[in-house]
Chains A and B, each alone.
Chain A
Amino acid sequence: MLGSESCDRVVLAGRDEALTEVEDLLRHRRLVTVTGPGGIGKSALAGALARRPGLGPDAVVARTDLAPLIDPGLVPHWLARALGMDGPAGKPQLAALTEALGDTPALLVVDTCEHLATRCTEVLTALVDACPRLHVLATSRTPLRTPGLYPLSPVPLDVAAELFTEYARQLDAEEPPPDTVRRICALLDGLPLAVRIAADRLAHRSAADVLSSLTRAEAALDLPATAPGLPTRQRSLRDSLDWSLRLCTAEERLLWARLSVFPGSFELAQVLEICGDAALPPGPLVAAFTGLAWQSLIEPQPDDNEGTAFRMPRTTRAYGRQRLSLSGEERELLNRFLAWTLRAS
């Protein structure tokens, strides 16, 4: 079912700790959502977890990817079909599935919940409450509003570099120089999907070429993923971000574009001053800011001790910048940013 899984010969790299932690959390909560931006490796992690014999040999293990599903009303149906259980026809699907599942030990992996987050929260909570031996592992760019959340971090630079080299080896490409690999990976925000897409280029180009093309973040957006088995929303980083954009409110989209004027980290106070105006008054702006953080499109600045500074990953910013220039607001925002910098210094 999961395209990204079926043709992967690469073992999950650098996620041993995450696997143990998620498994522990799952044992206690029975409903856990792995969250993080697109391409960070949520599905890969969930897939690896489903292959571990965590629940015992007789447990039913089922997986479904909700990405193609549009109608929230059909969430229970997709779960039922993944489990191969329908239940009595004389009841609505959720009730019927609950009855069919009963106290069967089962692990259900529900991939890609972000576009149906509200409905998934309701359905998965109801199922776990009614079925005492069911464990559910969901993945979502937007956290589900349930207690068991596991935000997945980017992979460390070393792991990313290892991964890049491994992908290169699979392409039978010339072994790229380690130094170049590290510099490439440093530009990719620890995003395994980006690592994979960049490594794919080695089939036609040298590592040095790949590095120089990546220094322009906009170019990285459109590198096509040539590896088979990636779902359409992961054919390029732009596709992945398009999918995220579709889930955003109008205010979130506007703020995403405007935030791209910040070259580094930013705090909410600065954002209010530079990005706020009649089109984005303080109330909606704060809501949009929270929304972007909620959807992992901006993240807390790693080395910030107070936890008030945020940053936007490079490619996410490049994507926002393109939308800003298309909207015709780029000049105005740059002026505001400049004015603020001059005043602050």
Chain B
Amino acid sequence: MPKLPPAGRVSTVPAAPPSGNPARLIRGTFPLAMAGVCALLGRALELPQLFLPLMPAVAALPAMGRSGGRDVLGAGAAALGGVALLGWGARPVNVIAALAGVLTVTALIRAAARRSRRQETKLARLGRLAQVTQAAVLPRPPESVGGVRLDARYLAATPGATVGGDICGAERTPFGVRLLIGDVSGKGLDVVATAAETLHIWRELAHHESSLAGIALRMDTAVTRIHHHDGFVTALLINVYDDGRVELLSCGHPPPLLVRGGRASWLAGLDATAPLGLMEMVQDRCPTAVVRPAPDDWLLLCTDGVAECRNGAGEFYPLAERLTAFCGREPTVVLDDLEVDLARYRDGGCRDDAMMLLIRPPSRQHSG
């Protein structure tokens, strides 16, 4: 699983790989060879009228593969040459029939090749468009926001997909750096749409709401409005203040892991409230917790796909233990290792979208 590209930089996959030259050569010369062989055999065996009707078939050869207009015309020309060689001395009716056959087949195949080429281009363009849109609606956070360094990883439930119901965001705001990790309930395209809208609303609120509780309440209203079939969104809202304090509000979301001195442990003392979309059930209670990380502390935020990942035997992934085991190297390397380990562990077990966001608060010169 590659490292997710930062927002704004979208990697696009080329449409169809250009076919290599040898293949192209074989495809171009095959009809010519067939026409030649048929003409020689017809002449040598003195049976031109037997081989003449084969020429339209030679012209049809390009239909067997993905060929361009030039291949079709080349095959047509080869077939015409064959007709000319075999037609010498044959009955005019047969020659004319063969000629008509070759021309018709060439025309038909050329038209068909054109259409399929157009369709392919369209498909390729759609594929690219989907990726660009996905990256635009659910962009990954940049490497650093307001001095907070970030590193994200995403393991999709569907291999190859780069979006699902898991979202994360990071914004530099007048209230400090604000971070979000969230998980939209449900599966399918609806979820991607809800995820995109939820993220969009969070981003706007992050710049205008002065408290995390305010953001949560308004997101709750929004999720109730946009999420179909009474779904919900679990989320962890974080505010990193300029003085180094980190405030957290968990809406039914797993707590973060605190990595300190080479050891990882679940952050204690975070009292979760109801997921967004269900806040009414807890009378809008939004308790936050404030921690003050030490200079080299890391926080690992993750979604259920990580926190509740199980193997084939149904055992939970021992995230804190595994993370501790990988600690001691560069954060990127640690995350890479963790990701590979997690992917291996969940192979065979049930899979969910899984997202990890490693945050390193700014290390201050004057700590205190």
Asked if B204 and A89 sit within 8 Å, CB to CB, the answer is: yes
Q: A68, A73, A93 — which one has the most chain B CB atoms within 10 A of its CB?
A: A93
Q: A74-B214, A81-B217, A81-B221 are in contact. Are A93 and B285 (CB under 8 A)?
A: no
Question: What's the least CB distance linking A85 to chain B, in Å?
Answer: 9
The yes or no answer to A51 lying at the interface (CB within 8 A) is: no
User: Assuming A68-B285, A73-B210, is B217 touching A89 (CB within 8 A)?
Assistant: no
Chain B, interface size category, equals: 10 to 19
CB of A72 to closest CB in B, whole Å: 11
Contact between B217 and A74, CB atoms less than 8 A apart: yes
Using CB atoms, name the residue of chain B closest to A77: B217
Chain A residues closer than 8 Å to B221, beta-carbon distance = 80-81, 86
Which residues on the B side are within 8 Å of A80 (C-beta)? 218, 221
Partner of B210, one of A78, A90, A91, A92: A92
Name the residue on B nearest A71 (C-beta).
B213
Q: Does B211 contact A (CB under 8 A)?
A: yes
CB-defined contacts of B201 to chain A, threshold 8 Å: 89
Chain B facing A: main interface SS = helix
From residue B62, how far is it (CB to closest CB) to chain A in Å? 57
Least CB separation from A78: chain B residue: B284
| CB atoms of A73 and B214 under 8 A apart | yes
A81 lies within 8 A of B284 (CB): yes
Known contacts A68-B285, A78-B284, A81-B284: A93-B214 contact under CB 8 Å: yes
Cα A88 to Cα B208 in complex, Å, equals 11
- Which chain A residues in 49-65 approach chain B with CB under 8 Å? none
A93 to B221, CA, bound (A): 12
Contact B213 A74, beta carbon cutoff 8 Å: yes
| A98→B11 CA distance, assembly (Å) | 43
In angstroms, how far is the closest chain B Cβ from the Cβ of A92?
A: 5
B103 at the interface (CB under 8 A from A): no
| Complex interface: chain A residues within 8 A of B304 (CB) | none
B222 and A86 contact, CB distance less than 8 A: yes
Bound state CA distance, A89 and B206, in angstroms?
A: 9
Q: Whole-angstrom distance between the alpha carbons of A92 and B218 in the complex?
A: 10
What's the nearest-Cβ distance from chain A to residue B4, in Å?
A: 25
**Shortest Cβ distance from residue B239 to the other chain A in the assembled complex, whole angstroms:** 14
Q: Which residues of A contact B210 (CB under 8 A)?
A: 73, 92
**Does B205 make an interface contact (CB < 8 A)?**
yes
The residue in chain A whose Cβ has the minimal distance to the Cβ of B221 is A86
Q: Which A residues between 295 and 324 are near B, CB-CB below 8 angstroms?
A: none
- Measured CA separation A90–B217 after assembly (Å): 15
Are A93 and B204 in touch, CB under 8 angstroms? no
A4-29 at interface with B (beta carbon < 8 Å): none
27 residue pairs of the A-B complex, CB under 8 angstroms, read: A69-B284, A71-B211, A71-B213, A73-B213, A73-B214, A74-B211, A74-B214, A74-B217, A77-B214, A77-B217, A77-B218, A80-B218, A80-B221, A81-B217, A81-B221, A86-B221, A86-B222, A88-B204, A89-B201, A89-B218, A90-B204, A90-B207, A92-B208, A92-B209, A92-B210, A93-B214, A93-B218
